[in-house]
Amino acid sequence: MFGIIIANFGFWINCLIPIIFGLYLLYTKNEYFLQEFGIQVGATILYVSIIFTLLFSYTTDLADTEYWNGKVTSFEYYEEWTEEVTYTEEQCSGSGNNRTCRTVTKTREDYHSPYWMYITSNGEEQTIDQGAYLNASSKFGSSKIELERSDKVSYNDGDKYISYPNVIIPTAIPHSFTNYVTAAKGNVIHVKVPEQDIKQLEKDKKLVKYPSTYLGFYQESRLDRVIDTTKSISNISVIGENLNIISYKLGFTKQVNPIIYITDEDRSFKDALSQYWSKAKKNDVVLILGIDKSTGIIQWSDCIAWTNNTDFEVDCKNKFQGLKANDPKVLAIFEELIRTEFVRKPMKEFEYLKENITLEWYYQVLIVLGNIALTWFISWKVLNRYSNNSNYGFRRKY
Largest CA distance in the chain: 96
State pLDDT tens for residues 31-51: 666 677 787 788 888 888 888
From residue 307, alpha-carbon distances to 252, 280, 294, 311, 312 in Å are 16, 12, 33, 10, 8
Q: What 3-state class would DSSP assign to 176? A: strand
Predicted TM-score (pTM) of the model is 0.78
From residue 46, alpha-carbon distances to 53, 98, 124, 131, 178 in Å are 11, 42, 33, 46, 22
**Separation between Cα atoms, residue 161 and residue 129, nearest integer Å:** 14
Torsion of Cα atoms, 218 then 219 then 220 then 224, to 10° = 110
Number of helices (H), then strands (E), in the chain: 12, 14
From residue 201, alpha-carbon distances to 89, 189, 195, 227, 228 in Å are 67, 19, 10, 15, 14
From residue 105, alpha-carbon distances to 86, 100, 150 in Å are 7, 17, 19
Q: 367 burial class (0-12, 13-18, 19+ CB within 10 angstroms)?
A: buried
**Separation between Cα atoms, residue 176 and residue 64, nearest integer Å:** 6
Q: What 3-state class would DSSP assign to 229? A: coil
Instruction: Give the residue extent of every domain in the chain.
Output: 2-38+357-388, 68-163, 179-349
pLDDT at 386 (0 to 100): 54
From residue 203, alpha-carbon distances to 192, 193, 207 in Å are 19, 15, 8
pLDDT at 188 (0 to 100): 60
**CATH T-level assignment (fold) for domain 179-349:** Diaminopimelate Epimerase; Chain A, domain 1 (3.10.310)
Given a cut of 70, the residues of the chain with pLDDT beneath it are 1-3, 7, 29-34, 185-191, 352, 355, 385-398
For the stretch 4-7, contacts whose Cβ atoms lie closer than 8 Å and that sit 24 or more positions apart, written own/partner, are 4/56, 4/62, 4/178, 4/354, 4/357, 5/48, 5/49, 5/52, 5/53, 5/56, 7/354, 7/355, 7/357
pLDDT at 190 (0 to 100): 60
pLDDT at 186 (0 to 100): 60
pLDDT at 385 (0 to 100): 65
**Separation between Cα atoms, residue 296 and residue 148, nearest integer Å:** 60
